[in-house]
């Protein structure tokens, strides 16, 4: 079941199917992306939504109906976006294909610059890499450049920043998926890097409204979009615990190729690589390491190892076949 499995009305001409309508819907109490799409499909226009009975709303959004019914008349049209920012809605023709097959897709994506190319590779990892992690980034991005493959990451300090920098140095496009608004990229130390990404033809992407800063929940949430935007997720280096391990969970949920280098001595004793060792352990690892629950936990518990590809220096080329 995905965001796009709900019954669709015969027409998508109503204003609720446009970006402004979807953004306006998400300003209603209790309405996130999934419910915004459900309301758009059921009522098509804001006028019809305002005229809907509480019972009709309850059929679509359950217990949130009462608060929506009492609030809908007071939520005005969405204001203009900051200069240089565009919004793409899930009903638009240019909605990214890679967002159509994940279970918790946003309803609106905000973009500065370009969208990731098909076949891009995500390179993610710790904010405090050692020489091992930085060498992995360099080798992976160099191999990607040899195949004209773009790089996706999250603009964070450490591995993310190194991946973007390497992509710029090797002349391949790179895209940063943010846990903040695209007009306020973070961290502050990477504002200049964000500008260079845009100048080189890449892009900044986020599901967060312009102006919003990052918080832990938004940073974890953006990790699922990093996995979605790529055909392979390379965990350059990460410890335990690590936010990167959320990206691993999303990669497995979305059936992206999970690629993890296994450090050899003397790097195999570094705490910053504990996640790599767990994900590449031939005996598997505890599903709780990647925050997996339910069916995913059952699947992870029998994977030997968890990584689809355990990467050694001579095997980097296998990423691209």
Architecture of domain 15-74: Orthogonal Bundle (1.10)
CB 141 within 8 A of CB 166: yes
The confidence band for 313, taking pLDDT boundaries of 50, 70 and 90, is: low
Could you tell me the pTM of the whole model?
0.92
Residue 131: Cβ-neighbour burial (10 angstroms; 0-12, 13-18, 19+): exposed
**Domain residue spans in the chain?**
15-74, 112-319
CB 312 within 8 A of CB 262: yes
CB 120 within 8 A of CB 229: yes
Q: Residues of the chain with pLDDT > 90: what percent? A: 88
Class of the CATH-defined domain 112-319: alpha beta
* Dist. CA 111–CA 229, nearest whole Å: 13
In the sheet with 151-153, reading across from the earlier edge strand, the strands are: 86-89, 108-113, 203-206, 174-177, 151-153, 121-125, 232-237, 257-261, 309-311
Rounded to an integer, the average pLDDT of 9-20 is: 78
Run of H or E residues at 233: strand 232-237
Is 80 exceeded by the pLDDT of residue 48?
Answer: yes
Rounded to an integer, the average pLDDT of 276-284 is: 97
Residue 77 pLDDT: 87
* Dist. CA 14–CA 11, nearest whole Å: 8
Residue 117 pLDDT: 92
* Dist. CA 248–CA 256, nearest whole Å: 9
* Dist. CA 114–CA 117, nearest whole Å: 9
């Amino acid at each position: 079941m995905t965001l796009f499995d709900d019954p669709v009305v015969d027409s998508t001409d109503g204003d609720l199917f446009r970006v402004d309508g979807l953004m306006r819907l998400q300003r209603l109490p209790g309405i996130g992306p999934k419910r915004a799409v459900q309301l758009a499909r059921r009522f098509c226009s804001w006028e019809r939504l305002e005229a809907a009975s509480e019972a009709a709303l309850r059929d679509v959004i359950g217990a949130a109906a009462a608060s929506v019914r009492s609030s809908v008349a007071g939520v005005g049209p969405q204001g203009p976006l900051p200069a240089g920012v565009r919004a793409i809605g899930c009903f638009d023709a240019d909605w990214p294909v890679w967002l159509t097959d994940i279970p918790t897709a946003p309803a609106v994506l905000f973009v500065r610059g370009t969208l990731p190319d098909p076949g891009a590779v995500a390179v993610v990892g710790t904010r405090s890499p050692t020489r091992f992690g930085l060498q992995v980034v360099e080798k992976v991005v160099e191999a990607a450049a040899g195949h004209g493959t773009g790089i996706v990451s999250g603009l964070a300090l450490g591995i993310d920043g190194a991946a973007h920098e390497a992509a710029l140095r090797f002349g391949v496009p790179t895209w940063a998926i943010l846990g903040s608004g695209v007009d306020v990229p973070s961290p502050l130390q990477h504002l200049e890097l964000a500008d260079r990404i845009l100048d080189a033809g890449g892009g900044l992407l986020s599901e967060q409204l312009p102006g919003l800063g990052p918080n832990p929940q938004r940073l974890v949430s953006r990790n699922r979009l990093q996995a979605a935007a790529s055909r392979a997720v390379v965990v350059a280096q990460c410890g335990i615990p690590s936010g990167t391990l959320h990206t691993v969970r999303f990669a497995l949920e979305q059936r992206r190729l999970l690629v993890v280098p296994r450090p050899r001595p003397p790097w195999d004793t570094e705490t910053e690589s504990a996640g790599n060792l767990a994900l590449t352990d031939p005996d598997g690892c505890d599903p709780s390491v990647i925050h997996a629950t339910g069916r995913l936990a059952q699947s992870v518990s029998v994977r030997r190892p968890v990584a689809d590809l355990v990467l050694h220096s001579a095997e980097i080329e296998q990423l691209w076949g």
